[in-house]
């Protein structure tokens, strides 16, 4: 691992805001075009572009691939991540952007529960209480009068579960070099989704090609910005700043797609964010993964 870098929360916050903006742009394109293409096809294109962008870093760091620890866990992480991103791209085309972001804030709480069950981590009463409050917030935020209770919400629930599982597995791989994790993730996405993409491939008209390829550029750039944010800033500060993604995605949904959240949604989202924030702030500070 590299030496501890001096903390610069302003620079770290700027990188994190760039990460959020790039992610919203990528998801916005998926939302705009996703109904016309299978989710697996979009994920495959995202992985292909991401691998192309990663290739110079892979070549420069090829010595770190000499030994890959815990290959079975690496494969499990790839499978969970592929399911998560495919479900994510399927869901974002079918649910409001603000609801999509709010539901993703429940991931730390699901990770907490999975860690208690699978890793035997101790969970306090206050943390269980935060999880209960978040679940109540989800029930309130999902307004059946404005959100269809259909495949989109089911995919959203799936991605939260598989995404949380991927986080648990990644905890067991924290000593793996960052470039190895990123390469397995990106290459694995492509390999996992290629058969499904070929089976259901939809022709891409010329005016859609550039936006679809831009998804990979934005998503991979966002990942790099996220790593740089945590290289520069304190994890505690960045975790709180991360909740800015909710107003940003709500604004994007309103201006780009005409999505107007209800008061019921705001009430539920507030409970979810408060519960997730209380869990984040109650944790002991842990070392974050550094770029090598």
212 in Cβ contact with 204 (< 8 Å): yes
Q: What is the dihedral sign for C-alpha 250, 254, 256, 257? A: positive
CA distance linking residue 129 with residue 53, whole number of Å:
43
- Mean pLDDT over 136-159 rounds to 80
81 in Cβ contact with 189 (< 8 Å): yes
- Whether the pLDDT of residue 150 is over 90: the answer is no
| CA angle in degrees (0–180, nearest 5) for 1-227-213 | 135
Q: What is the pLDDT of residues 212-225, one digit of tens each?
A: 999 999 999 998 89
CA distance linking residue 232 with residue 5, whole number of Å:
7
**Residue closest to 48 by CA, chosen among 197, 202, 204:** 197
Q: Is residue 258 part of a domain?
A: no
pLDDT tier at 236 (50, 70, 90 boundaries)? low
**Residue closest to 227 by CA, chosen among 290, 174, 286, 185:** 290
Tokens 């945590």 label which residue?
230
Q: What angle do the packed helices 178-199 and 206-232 form, to 10 degrees?
A: 160
Q: What is the pLDDT of residues 4-41, one digit of tens each?
A: 445 677 888 899 899 999 999 999 999 999 999 999 99
Share of the chain above pLDDT 90, in %: 46
- Whether the pLDDT of residue 78 is over 90: the answer is yes
CA atoms within 13 A on the CB side of 287: 10
Domain count, the chain: 1
Q: Which of 106-115, 151-160, 175-184 has the highest mean pLDDT?
A: 151-160
Cβ-count burial of 208 within 10 angstroms (0-12 exposed, 13-18 middle, 19+ buried)? Answer: middle
CA atoms within 13 A on the CB side of 34: 24
Q: Is residue 4 part of a domain?
A: no
- Whether the pLDDT of residue 228 is over 90: the answer is no
- Whether the pLDDT of residue 291 is over 80: the answer is no
- Whether the pLDDT of residue 168 is over 70: the answer is yes
Q: Is residue 267 part of a domain?
A: yes
Q: What angle do the packed helices 206-232 and 39-60 form, to 10 degrees?
A: 50
CA distance linking residue 211 with residue 49, whole number of Å:
12
What letter would DSSP give residue 65?
A: G
Residue predicted with more confidence, 146 or 248: 248
Q: Is residue 249 part of a domain?
A: no
- Report pTM: 0.86
Q: Is residue 1 part of a domain?
A: no
16 in Cβ contact with 239 (< 8 Å): no
7 in Cβ contact with 233 (< 8 Å): yes
CA distance linking residue 116 with residue 164, whole number of Å:
13
195: domain range? 33-208+263-282
């Amino acid at each position: 691992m590299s030496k501890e870098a001096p903390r610069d929360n302003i620079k770290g916050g700027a990188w994190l805001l760039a990460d959020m903006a790039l992610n919203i742009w990528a998801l916005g394109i998926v939302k705009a075009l996703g109904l016309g293409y299978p989710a697996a096809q979009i994920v495959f294109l995202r992985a292909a572009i991401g691998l192309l962008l990663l290739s110079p870093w892979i070549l420069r760091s090829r010595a770190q691939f000499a030994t890959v620890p815990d290959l079975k866990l690496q494969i499990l992480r790839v499978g969970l991540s592929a399911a998560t991103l495919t479900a994510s791209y399927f869901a974002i085309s079918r649910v409001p952007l603000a609801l999509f972001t709010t539901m993703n804030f429940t991931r730390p709480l699901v990770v907490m529960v999975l860690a208690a069950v699978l890793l035997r981590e101790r969970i306090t009463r206050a943390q269980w209480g935060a999880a209960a409050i978040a679940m109540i917030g989800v029930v309130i935020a999902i307004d059946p009068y404005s959100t269809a209770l259909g495949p989109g919400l089911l995919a959203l629930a799936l991605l939260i579960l598989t995404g949380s599982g991927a986080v648990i597995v990644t905890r067991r791989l924290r000593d793996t070099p960052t470039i190895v994790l990123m390469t397995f993730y990106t290459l694995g996405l492509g390999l996992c989704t290629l058969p499904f993409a070929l089976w259901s491939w939809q022709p891409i008209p010329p005016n859609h090609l550039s936006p679809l390829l831009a998804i990979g550029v934005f998503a991979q750039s966002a990942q790099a910005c996220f790593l740089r944010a945590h290289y520069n800033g304190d994890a505690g500060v960045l975790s709180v700043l991360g909740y800015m993604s909710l107003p940003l995605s709500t604004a994007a949904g309103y201006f780009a797609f005409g999505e107007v959240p209800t008061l019921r949604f705001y009430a539920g989202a507030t409970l979810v964010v408060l519960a997730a924030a209380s869990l984040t702030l109650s944790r002991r500070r842990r070392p974050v993964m550094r770029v090598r």
